[in-house]
A and B are shown apart, each in its own frame.
Chain A
Amino acid sequence: MYRLLFLQFLRSKAVRAGLLLTLLLGGISIGIGHQFLDQKNAAIDEVERYQKQHIERNVELHKDDLGLLMYYLKFAFVNSPASLAGLSVGQSDINPIIQRITIKNLEGQRYDTDLVNPMNLQSGNLDLSFVLIYLFPLLVIVFTFNLLSEETETGTWRLVAVQAPSKRKYLLTKLSVRAVLVYAVLGILLIAAKIVLSIPLDVNFMMVVLLSIVYIAFWFGVCFFVTAFNKGSHFNALLLLSTWLGLLMLLPAGINAYITNRYPIPEALTTMISQRDGYHTKWDMDKTETLKKFYGHYPQFETFGYPTEGFNWTWYYAMQQMGDDDARKDTEALWQKIRKRESVSKRVSAFLPNMHLQLAFNGLAGTGLGEQLDFLEATNAFHEELRLFFYPMVFKEVSGNRVDWTKFTPKYWSQNTEGENPIRYLWPLLSAAFIVMLGCAVVFKRWY
């Protein structure tokens, strides 16, 4: 019986087309994820090589003037992508994973975007997370919209009603045939992704698997709920596709419009101007004044005194420092606003399974906005460390040859995930699935 149900189901052209298309696009998406990781890793290898040459060349040119040398030298700080990033590219296509910064004012450097074609951004990444979030619900819809109605429309339902020991059991068996197939496709794609992207079998990947399973169950629930009302096939198809359109496109787009309009970020532009003015206007101001402010920030350097005659590097880097210091208020406002945006969008998305899943995937893969902000904050610390190391040497006018440059290879950053239990991603989705299942159970009991 089970085998026959399978065969009967697989005879439908739409079913086979749906299976094939999902597998095909899933395959493409894994390939794209692989390419994405390859490109990022190649870029990291490149920065390793480049930084060595870059330092050697500039040390050779400017070793006698450490202040000038530090004007040119860039140090790489890398947010190397986890292999899960190939599964959920998230925001890491627009935000650079490599920061190359000098010890000059930081606010002017760290917001630079990566090279990216905006058309690609608009159309979005075709990564496995897209296939999971968008296409699997469609597959579920195609598989189940006529679960019951095809029987009533072809007249077989009466036969079933008479012959089957339990109508409920028959419907559930039919449903399980579909579920087995959909989960088989999911399994194939996840295993393929695991192998191709060499994803480690860790908690994060397990969470991705678990979340996907629950998400698909949610959609099975929605579809079963709709079909159980025993309306016509075309009514079901239409209602389910509209639900899909509403949940996956209209609602997120509406929420996005709300957030964008509710929390505009003029602070970004203000910071950009104030960091420039903070530094550049110091060229025309009293040097002692600037140095005083600088020593106010770093009292430990006051021993370098107040050289005011002509150009000197102590004063120069004090001015650079003022770019950051004078912009501090605006920077803080900017960060507050972005964090606010992030938290609002996370809170809202908890009510929308697909949005929540996307943010959860990004979070697990380290490619979300929150992770990018953490990386930027870590860049801040990295920059400060460089400053504190080089400032005294520059002020003392140490020769460039006396610095051990081999130490200055690119530094890597990785997300500190301690204390963050990934299980927390599961609750909103689990509750959504539970509510839908409950609805199904009620309807099912009443009708059959």
Chain B
Amino acid sequence: MVEFFTDVAALSRLQFAITVIFHFLFVPLSIGLGLFTALAETRYYRTRKPEDKAASRFWVKIFTTTFIIGVATGITMEFSFGSNWANYSRFVGDIFGAPLAAEALLAFFLESLFLGVVLFGRKRLKPGLYLASTWVVWFGSALSALWILIANSWMQTPAGYEVVESATGGAKAQLVDFWAAALNPSTVPRYLHTVDSLVILGAFSVMAIGAYYLLRRRSAQQVAFGKRFLTTGLIVGIVTVILMLPFAHMQAAQVATTQPAKLAAMEGQWNDGPGNMTLFGWVDEANGTTTAVEFPSPGFVGILANGNADATYPGLITMKDGPVDLSNYTGPVDSVYPGGIPSVNLTFQAYHLMVVMYCLLVLWIIFAIILVRSEKHRKGKVLNYLMVFGPIVPFLAIQSGWIVAEVGRQPWVVYGLLRTDDAISMSVSAPEILITILLFIVFYAFLFVVWLRVILKMIKAGPQLEEGEAATADSSDDLKGGE
């Protein structure tokens, strides 16, 4: 245990894990809700009805409050590459920098500047321009995600580079083909898989708020909002949950063909052979065994990845040490695996948790269909409660999915090129990181509590009609910014 507290690499990983998981609570929610905010404003633009205006104002508040936390905690991520991963930054700068600069110039300015417009500019702009601003913010955030995922994907499946000696000493990756690097093998599947999951989260959050209003039934107006939110969320939810199947398949096939160690860890496969799919189980890493219930069709991973049940994959025992010649295996496409395996049980459990969460998503969609079809929502009280807690399901799916992606590629921070342990900052000491980890925990816990309180207050107050100034002013008192 003492070793952990003096291990700069382990502490840096812990700090990165804490800060990135926290950041990725708010980013998915804001990208997901951004779409619904733009949709709500589009509806208002078409109808000009006061209740649609109220709904749009409501989503703008929820969305912007969440978005700002994502922005604030995103600065941490950009700083952390240089501050905690200096050797990594030196290694990948030539490749990683371009997408990051593009993210700032092409996407981040767009979303941040127009966020201010969406938050404060309703009365100052023509309706058409205001509507455009809400879409621009969403478009900017989705574009932002693209550049970040390009950088992340390059670390998973590097392409379009060569390794050269840098002028300041040490090796570095140098760009030789921008398009090959940007559209490396995992960029497209990862982007589709990720963005779809964010919209699913948005849909489930919108449904949850709708179900909450149907439970509370404060007024006829509130029930109407509840039905509307539930229906809108459900329509988008059905589409995105169905789309997830091909997107997840693309991603899994990419892992199977380009990241054999991650695949083996996901399925707990220790020995060479066909890829069998496991349903659930436990990995004993010390003894190199997996106890699991397997999918009845043998070699199912091979069937999914390249339509061949007999395709063979290297096992974790083979890949543990040193480079492995992959040409003897019919599954993966790369020629050599550089060696090393991740924490197998963590990867295994996270992967299976994600799959279980997907099954629950389908179940929840069915619940929502039942709720919407049965006009008497009062009778579906249990289902309504389940919908209120629904967003937890996609949240867990997203977080566990990223654990698979990031833990599963260890010990490499840049697959096959740079080990995580070699990526650290040499000039930062363990006590300094311990201090900042503690500060992050305090800051982030506080931010989370305040954000939650504010959001819950907003949800409780609900969309407020502007007519009847007196009544509006009274009930929206909590929401108002003033003193």
Say whether A and B bind each other.
no
